[in-house]
Amino acid sequence: MAAKFELTVNHVSREVVADPEMPLLWVLRELLGLTGTKYSCGIAQCGACMVHVDGNAVPACITPIANVANKSVTTIEGLSVDKSHPLQRAWVDLQVPQCGFCQSGQLMAAAALLTRKPNPSDADIDEAMSPVLCRCGTYPRIRAAIHRAAALMGKTEVSNDSDHF
Amino acid sequence: MTATTFNRRTFLKIMGSTTATGFAIGVTSLSAGCDGELQTGTKAGNWRAWINIERDNSVTVYCPRMEMGQGVLTGLGMLVAEELDADWNSITVRHAPLDDEFGSQLTENSESVRVYWPIMRKLGAGARTQLIRAAAQAWKVEPSTCTASLGLVSHPASGRQASYGELADAAARLPLSAQIELKEAMNFRLLTRSAPRIDIPSMLDGSLKYTADLSFPGLLSATILHSPMLGGRVASIDNRAALAVPGVKTTVDLGFAVAVVAENFWSAEQGRRQLKVDWAKPVHAAMDEGAMRIMLKAACLQPAAAFINLGNSASLLSSAESLLTQEYSVRYEAHATMEPMTCIADVRANSCEVWAPTQSPWAAYGVARDHGLSPFFRFCERLSRKLTGKANGLVKVHAIPMGGGFGRRLNQDFVREAVLVSKAVQAPVKLLWTREQDMANDFYRPASQHRIQAALDSQGNIAAWRHRIAGSGILDHGVDFPYDCANVRVELSYHEIGVPTGSLRSTAHTPNAFARECFMDELAVRAGRDPVEYRLSQLSKNPRLKRVLEIAAEKAGWTTPLPAGRSKGVALHPSKDSFVAQIAEISRAAEGAIRVHRVICVADCGMVFNPDTVKAQMQGAIVFGLTSALKTAISVRNGGIEQSNFHDFSLLRMNEAPNIEIYLVESADAPGGVGESGVPPIAPAIGNAIFALTGNRPRELPMLSPALTT
């Protein structure tokens, strides 16, 4: 039975009419037109659908819309206004993505990690990022880019790769 | 600059700007690489079809290969930009339209650069030559007195300058130059460096649209339920509960599957869960895992047809004093692209339009034509295509960037399904498979059984070699024996198993390299020799392979003892005109899980351009290969695939990814294939490291923990 739900998405108040069980993933993609969050497994085993709910990384595919009523949701589209988030900058600097399909989930998981731990260790990265699969194998670059983003945020020394133009 | 779908307006611009004399419709066969003939490129006479220069100096390059994360849009764009001497920041690259001008556009076999290395460069150089001639003509000077750089043609003597944009129309009207000179490598400005991929920014904010992200008014959604037994058929459907789900429009019986069509995917999926389908079993069910393995092992005990037969292998083996025999088993593997199978189809009375992530837009085109058009319009289409060599208005294919390919999207089964559903409901339909359907309806990397025998001479070197392989699908890639041995026999034994198979990022190279390189290690142990030294001493005919192994051993500190509980293993493999050696360093947790700490990878891929992308492909290939090496396999039970999602077909995760060091050998040889060549060595390198650590030899791929203790 469809019902009305209010929630904030990327700082904008939204109202949707949906079955309470409809996963947030499909509300975002099909009712709100925000297709940056991806479907890949539907059972929270792959992390492609990671979003933030009240600041926490959450798999949207198993989160019923009823559970996020009146909450604040951030998707990849809301990570920054202009790709200026340190993670996005680091992702470009280190050329992280290959096919790109998992990268929304990777970035959202990484962003939640950096909010909790601005200077994550490799073990912290393992824990936060292991839920997000990448078939193309970009894990080494993701790890390096998280460290780089942390450095950018902390404004510590960041080397520039002169091999790129 | 984003690599977006090729839109209708630009398509027409290309069509309209073609001159009758300009097209070079012909195909040139290029040198055969590994795994048979490379796909053909074109004679590439007409740069105007490939490079569009606007008045504002922005340049669009039409890329004849499909992007799936390997960076081909950027890479082939760089080849043009280098010779064109365009400003890289002015370049956009898009998938080329469907036109014989752009060759087969089939993207596989790590060959895009190998095929297009000379062609894209000639196109850029041709355009540059015309732009200079146009300026020279306008200025009434000799072309040789003009220079071109960063989008500007200059005449230094007079100080005159004109942008490419200002010259483009005039240049396009000139007859094509017969003489086109390419730059010497020492003059490369772009290629030896790494360009940031032009499509990466759009992957960071959700703006890159994959197929399932596309939408337009009137588009319905669909999902699909295939027979749980491979090859099964629909016997009867009870769709009443499915139709009762809000948003569901209808169901479509395709014979081999049932589609549910709805307003959106979630409704379609809810409807699919309510479907009750009785399935008729296939005439021949796919063989169960156990039965298949018994059959293949038995097949390996029988002589089979020789694929390679050099020297006198058979008789030397039968009379050998020192003979080693070993068997290896390789199981099925799924592609598991992160983007599941999906396609949008819009079938009308006299047209069929599809949007698909595909590695072969012409194959998608053929499927759209054959299943979407009525017989009369199919006839019209064939005639038109024969006359013009182009796709025409009856069938349109929008090739959308893929969320992973790895060979899966060489098959157009999902395109056919979307077309059939759209035709049935007479509306445009976006078909999206669930992960469960994707896992169970793949074209798997073939399973195989290997039996290798080798005779050693008095020094322990290999005197004779026989590698027998039994399985189905592609078995024969990567069986050339790279070591010194005059007596080599490879036998292939093909069997009906009933599981659909296809190409999967290196395909047969991975199983064959696993068997060979594990066996080489066993021979080294038998001969009392170090595994690296043993290989080096028998690579006299393969200097490029020898060199990468030497460098790998040095970078890995092969002879440096490791702390207790750690070991190293080595493997190498040539493929796709590239030569790769890898050394893996591992340890093992108490409960048996293998932990990979470090992988050294040395690759000779010929002349390296855009080195960062080459490194990225090697890194990615190693991570990809580690899933093959250490994680779960695909198995068959009761005629269907047992695995259904990532909980039972697990991929390597971040916490399992090793530190990877990539070293690219400097080479003047033509570029070799990069996308796949990093995959084959990793599994045997790990297997050999496991032996060094535990004394147990894994002989099954993937190498799962319980098996290691037997």
Cβ-defined contact of B340 to A77 (cutoff 8 Å) = no
Q: Between the CA atoms of B549, B554, B557 and B558, what dihedral angle is there, to the nearest 10 degrees? A: 30
Mean pLDDT of chain A: 95
Q: By the CB < 8 Å criterion, does A46 face chain B?
A: yes
Residues of B in contact with A83 (CB under 8 A): 201, 204-205
- Residue B106 structure tokens: 């089939």
3-class secondary-structure state, position B395: strand
Confidence of residue B28 (pLDDT cuts 50, 70, 90): very low
Tokens describing residue A5:
């739900």
Query: Closest to A98 (Cβ–Cβ): which among B196, B205, B620?
Result: B620
Contact residues for B504 (Cβ-Cβ < 8 A; gap 6+): B333, B335, B406, B407, B408, B444, B445
Tell me if A137 and B207 make a contact (CB, 8 A cut-off).
Answer: no
pLDDT classification of B705: cutoffs 50, 70, 90 = low
**Contact: A98, B215; criterion CB under 8 Å:** no
Residue found under tokens 């400005």: B189
Answer whether B435 sits within 8 Å of A40, measured CB to CB. yes
How large is the average pLDDT for residues B662-684?
Answer: 95
Residue of A nearest to B648 (CA): A45
DSSP lists the bridge partners of residue B462 as B456
B122-146 tens-digit pLDDT: 999 999 999 999 999 999 999 999 9
Pick A98's closest partner by Cβ from B69, B215, B659.
B69
Q: How far is A70 from chain B (nearest CA, A)?
A: 22
Of A95, A133, A139, the CB nearest to B612: A95
> Counting beta carbons within 10 angstroms of the beta carbon of residue B379, is it exposed (0 to 12), middle (13 to 18) or buried (19 or more)?
exposed
Does position A157 have pLDDT exceeding 70, yes or no? Answer: no
Q: Could you tell me the strand order of the sheet in which B152-155 lies?
A: B147-149, B152-155, B160-163
Minimum Cα–Cα distance from A90: chain B residue = B204
> How large is the ipTM?
0.96
**pLDDT at position B42, please?**
59
Average pLDDT over residues B605-618: 94
| pLDDT band, very low/low/confident/very high, at B5 (cuts 50, 70, 90) | very low
What DSSP assignment string belongs to B594-624?
EEEEEEEEEEE-SS--SHHHHHHHHHHHHHH
A161/chain B closest Cα distance in angstroms:
10
pLDDT at B392: 79
Location of structure tokens 């060759």: B103
Report CB contact under 8 Å: B205, A76.
yes
What is the tens place of the pLDDT at every residue in B422-479? 999 999 999 999 999 999 999 999 999 999 999 999 889 999 999 999 999 999 999 9
Q: Return d(Cα B517, Cα B521) in angstroms, integer.
A: 6
Nearest residue on chain B to A164, judged by CA atoms?
Answer: B194
How large a percentage of chain B has pLDDT more than 90? 86
Amino acid at B682: I
pLDDT band with cut points at 50, 70 and 90 for residue B46: confident
CB-based contact B617:B575 (threshold 8 Å): no
Cα B238-B240-B243 angle, rounded to 5 deg: 125
Distance CA B470, CA B481 (A): 18
B403/A134 touch (CB, cutoff 8 Å), yes or no: no
B75 touches chain A (CB under 8 A): no
Interface test with B, best of A26, A87, A139, A165 (most B CBs within 10 A): A139
Q: DSSP string covering B165-179, please?
A: HHHHHHHHHSPPPS-
The CA distance from A160 to the nearest CA of chain B, in Å, is: 13
Would you state the pLDDT for residue B591? 76
- What span, in angstroms and rounded, lies between the C-alpha atoms of A144 and A132? 16
Task: List the single residue in A with minimal CA-CA distance to B627.
Answer: A135
User: B321 has which bridge partners?
Assistant: none
Q: Tell if the CB–CB gap between A130 and B264 is shorter than 8 Å.
A: no
A158 or B19: which leads in pLDDT: A158
Q: What is the pTM of this model?
A: 0.93
Residue-level pLDDT at A164: 56
Confidence at B214, pLDDT banded by 50, 70, 90: very high
Tell me if chain A has a CB within 8 Å of the CB of B340.
yes
B217: Cβ contacts below 8 Å, ≥ 6 apart: none
Nearest CA-CA partner of B19 in B214, B146, B174: B174
| Minimal Cβ distance to A99: which of B69, B88, B204 | B69
